[in-house]
Structure 1
Amino acid sequence: MTNDPKNPGSGDERDPLEEMLGRLFGGQGPDPEEIRRAMEQMGGPGGGAMPGFDPSQMDPAMMQQMMAQFQAMMNPAASGQSGPVNWDLAKNAARQAVAGTDPSVGSFARREVDEALRLAELWLDGATDTEQSGLIGKAVSRAEWVEATMDSWRRMTEPVATSLSRAMSAAIEQQLSRQMPEEMAGMLGGLEGLKPMLQNMGGTMFGLQLGTAVGEIGKDVLSGTDIGFPLAGHTLSMLPVNIEEFGDGLSVPDDQLRIYLALREVARMRLFLHSPWLERDLFAAIEQYAAGIRLDTEGIESAAANVDPMDPESMQQVFDGRSFIAEPDATQRAALEQLELLLALVEGWVDVVVAEAAAPLDHAAALRETMNRRRASGGPAEHAFAALVGLELRPRRLHAASDLWAEITKTHGKQYREEVWRHPERQPTAEDLDDPTGYAGRREEQDRTTDSLDDELRRLLDGGFGDAPKEK
């Protein structure tokens, strides 16, 4: 026997509203019938806070969903949230964003990716002096990519996420204290009883937004390092479903596209392994930017003013897609410029190396132009991520960086080019992008200056300068 929707308390099953309140308040919550009567009054004739709402029509499935959502907001510990941001929710939202469009990777696709990555290692041996990665490549689904990269997304966004979620929660709490009907607030324990939910709400909303943005990126990304970072750690990976969809708009044979993308994936990973400092400096630039983040508090408060306290979904809609990041200050701009420079240098090096390694492919030139255009402009998913956290992962000077590495290769050879990557202090600057032919001369002058300082320091430690008396 089941519940009669016209009489929620009938039947063998427990009333879903009573069950929801029981779980939320541990059996000590308000009377479900009082909640229903209050809802009827607020949604009755005259246009209350919930116009058109009929509590007698609440079905168990809907109530179950409401219960789960409210329980997560009321009890951060139950939802796995240990801080202001619900990272478990972010990961689940990312997985949900790719669900339904994410076929499992079959054995044939795995074999194709494995062969392409192995071939890429061999072809790159002739184009770069960096050592083979020694890694076993794999084909991954979109959901597997989300799982593998979520820790890196958290590392990149946590300082911004924490500040935003706290500011959102505070603004919503202030606004709801003015708007929520006294009847509902009273039956939920008053505003003090609502504080756990309100304090958690900003983190819940940010987690949903970030997860959705990451999931959308997961629909576009072609390999593990496609964003320019080793997001999944030191692993070689490619996403067959995304590569297939990307190739649908190109007049290029599937095997050539796959090999070209494998060359780019392996080249990036070789570079990160060849230059351990590079990954550290990329993340350091992001962390320096995030440490100085400033928020548009007026914008957050203005958005919170449009929140409907009786419509949780409106809270998500009001904040969704909005950027509340204030204009960066001088320190942040310097960090962003350093990040963009490093990304451009990485992508420019990959472009030059892969162009040589991919020479056997008939469509190499067309693929090179397509990939550089895609990398430099980004897609809607990456722009959504940038709006959310104020961080663009774009190599703005990609072509200039390619020209620089091409000039260095032509003038000094591959060994010299790869040796540059071993020393952070030898990294090209924005000035070098403007004047590629002058890079070597400027580094030689810098080396001479450094050697001179080292000589003076040695002389000082050995006993002084010139005729200065030595201590006995």
Structure 2
Amino acid sequence: MSSNPSDSGDTPQDPLSEMLAKLFGGAGAGGMDPSELAKAAGLPSDPNAMAMIFQQVQAMFSAPSDGPVNWQLAKDNARRVAAADSDPSVSAAQRREVDEALHLAQLWLDPVTDFASTSTLGQAWSRAEWVEATMASWKRLTEPVAVSISQALSNAITTQMPEEMKVMMGGASSMLANMGGAMFGIQLGQAIGALSKEVVSSTDIGLPLAAGTMALLPANVTKFGEGLDVPETEIRLYLAVREAAHARLFTHAPWLGAHLFGAIESYARGIHIDMSKIEEVARDLDPSNPESIQEALSGGVFQPEQTPAQAAALERLETALALVEGWVDEVTAAATVNLPSAGALREMIRRRRASGGPAEHTFSSLVGLELRPRRLRDAAALWSQLREERGIEGRDAVWEHPDLIPTSKDLDDPQGFSKRRELLEASDSDVDAALQRLLDGGFDTPAEDPAGSDETPDDGADEGPGNGEEGNGSDEGEAPKP
């Protein structure tokens, strides 16, 4: 088979693929001028808007992908959104301020937690740096969901395509197979980019998105303090204490990060996509409105249906997030007791974490996951109760193993947690003692039980005849009667 001249002899390309490549290649590459096409289609003639639309459509068809989801496109789009309203590089002065705040935060935490200071160095990030540092975790968080959604979307596109077009597509069918992953990648990138404008630290949503790192985003810290009658120095310090507390918790409870991600993966394993909704949207899309696909995605039309098993997984995730945030809330309050604005900042962050920001709602509508600790106050009350009962060391010891952490029922009744735990431990202790006794041969066997001699079948035979009425009662010694 000969190669198409436009391929420079590298790879064969069917006519439709070449046509699409030229169409979306841009005016400089022999393609159509976006502004001219906009006029012909009756669309807005804003060159910048049309250029972005063409760039995204071109990426859908031509961007290479390492799987059903185009993660490179997701990261590129996230960085683009993060920089949309200016994302200046972090200055040397800002880095120094963040480093000093995190260093002081470690000193303030030492007396209020049993977890020792970590060796992690503090960092100051721009929004783009946050995207780069956390992208691997976002991929792990969303990949199971994204794969299911992108495959369902690709199937829907193929189903709606007329048979004659399927034949005509030829080798270009691979480009359509990439459309679902590219479209999801674009939307996911937009959600992550929007989050980059809201988060103030690497652990702001309660997950170790950049394991082994402590970081603040100076631009977002400043934005967080807008409208508050609180010095930015105090705001930065309070947020630094929270970040350092998260870092200590995830370092000294190494199973915790896997536990949180595992709850998300349990949710993703049961994903079911409602194909009828996708097919309905595919039928109703307006070709003259290139933004209709984006609106459909952001409206949650591809959001998975929730099953009972997924609801249970989400409950476990919400409980775990609440426990993490409740512990950090309680420890931070104790560490910043002498900070004048601590009480107001604590309440503000509680409300912010419980309700979630606009970007978190966008992320939730896209993948069906809500990363919010709804029961943060209940969890904080539980950790406070444990500190009063057991002291700081006893409270923090609960994080030693996942089997020890409280459940949603414990959040309902914080004061009864210790009593329920004592009963459970007593029950487990009885079982362990019985098992050890069995292994040691400590249980009496029937032959060693004096009371069991009367029940031994051979007793009557051993005693023989002449033992009176007891011997005559034996079935074997009784003569048959006529």
The TM-score bracket by the shorter chain reads 0.7 to 0.9
> In structure 2, what is the Cα distance between the partners aligned to 1:73 and 1:355?
48
In the alignment, residue 273 of structure 1 is paired with which amino acid? T
Aligned to 1:40: none
Contact 1:304–1:318 under 8 Å retained in 2: no
Match among 82, 91, 106 for residue 98 of structure 1: 82
Q: 2: CA distance between counterparts of 1:281 and 1:73?
A: 35
Q: Is the 8 A contact 1:323 1:390 kept in 2?
A: no
* Partner in structure 2 of residue 332 of structure 1: 310
Which residue among 375, 400, 417 is the counterpart of 2:353? 375
Distance 1:62 1:257 in 2: 38
2:95 equivalent to 1:117: no
Task: Report the equivalent of 1:163.
Answer: 148
Measure how far apart 1:143 and its partner are.
0.2
Q: Contact 2:322/2:374 (CA < 8 Å) preserved in 1?
A: yes
Q: What are the superposed Cα offsets for residues 145-168 of structure 1, whole Å, 9 maximum, x if unpaired?
A: 000001101101101100100111
Deviations 1:311-351 (A, max 9, x none): 75543344333243344222111111110000001111111
Tell me if structure 2 keeps the 8 A contact 1:167–1:297: yes
Match of residue 40 from structure 2: 53
Indicate the SS of the match to 1:421: helix
Alignment of 1:61-76 (within 5 A): 72-75=59-62
Q: Deviations over 1:163-196 (max 9, x none)?
A: 1001111112222437xxx8xx59xx81334411
Q: Tell me the residue number matched to 1:252.
A: 230
Which residue in 1 is equivalent to 2:196? 218
Q: 1:447 deviation in Å? A: 1.1
| Aligned positions of 1:259-408 closer than 5 A | 259-308=237-286, 313-408=291-386
Distance in 1 (CA, whole Å) between partners of 2:87 and 2:48 is 26
Deviation (angstroms), 1:220: 0.2
Give the residue type in structure 2 aligned to 1:336. Answer: L
TM-score (ref. length: structure 2):
0.81
- TM-score when scaled to structure 1? 0.83
The gaps in structure 1 that reach 5 residues or longer are: 1-17, 37-49
In the TM superposition, residue 437 of structure 1 has moved relative to its aligned partner by 1.2
Within 1, Cα distance between the matches of 2:312 and 2:13? 55
Q: C-alpha separation between the residues in 2 aligned to 1:341 and 1:355?
A: 21
CA distance in 2, matches of 1:82, 1:448: 52
Contact 1:24 1:71 in 2 (8 A): no
Whether the 8 Å CA contact 1:152–1:232 is kept in 2: the answer is: yes
Distance in 1 separating the partners of 2:190 and 2:222: 22
Structure 2 distance, partners of 1:368, 1:388, is: 30
| Partners of 2:98 and 2:122 within 8 A in 1 | yes
Check conservation: 1:117, 1:266, Cα contact below 8 A: yes
Paired position in structure 1 for 2:66: 82
Structure 2 spans left out of the alignment, 5+ residues? 24-36, 449-482
Kindly provide the amino acid, as one letter, of the partner of residue 88 in structure 1. Answer: Q
Q: Secondary structure at the match of 1:125?
A: helix
Q: Which amino acid aligns with 1:429?
A: T
1:464 CA drift (Å): 5.9
Contact 2:304 2:367 in 1 (8 A): no
Q: 1:28 to 1:331 in 2, by over 3 A?
A: closer
Residue 66 of structure 2 aligns to which amino acid in structure 1? S
8 A Cα contact 2:98 2:216, kept in partner: yes
Q: Aligned partners of 1:424, 1:206: CA distance in 2, in Å?
A: 34
Corresponding letter in the other structure for 1:133:
T
Deviation at 1:248, TM superposition (A): 1.0
Q: Count residues with an aligned counterpart.
A: 425
Kept in 2: contact 1:306–1:318 (CA 8 A): no
Query: Post-superposition, which runs of at least 4 consecutive aligned residues in structure 1 deviate over 6 A?
Result: 18-25, 60-68
**2:110 is equivalent to residue 149 of structure 1:** no
Please give the alpha-carbon distance, in whole angstroms, between the structure 1 residues aligned to 2:243 and 2:447. 61
Whether the 8 Å CA contact 2:53–2:290 is kept in 1: the answer is no
Please state if 1:136 is matched with 2:121: yes
Larger Rg: 2
CA contact (8 A) 1:113 1:139 kept: yes
Q: Which residue of structure 2 aligns with residue 45 of structure 1?
A: none
Contact 2:363/2:369 (<8 A) preserved: yes
Q: Describe the superposition over 1:97-129 as per-residue Cα deviations: whole angstroms up to 9, x where unpaired.
A: 011421110000000000000000000001111
Cα 1:375–1:333 change in 2 (3 A) is same
Matched, 1:29 2:7: no
Distance, in Å, in 2 between the alignment partners of 1:65 and 1:328 is 34
Matches within 5 A, 1:1-16: none
Secondary structure of 2:400's aligned partner: coil
Alignment partners' CA distance in 1, 2:321 and 2:156: 36
Separation (CA, whole Å) in 2 of partners of 1:420 and 1:296: 41
Q: Which residue of 2 aligns with 1:451?
A: 429
CA RMSD of aligned residues (A): 3.1
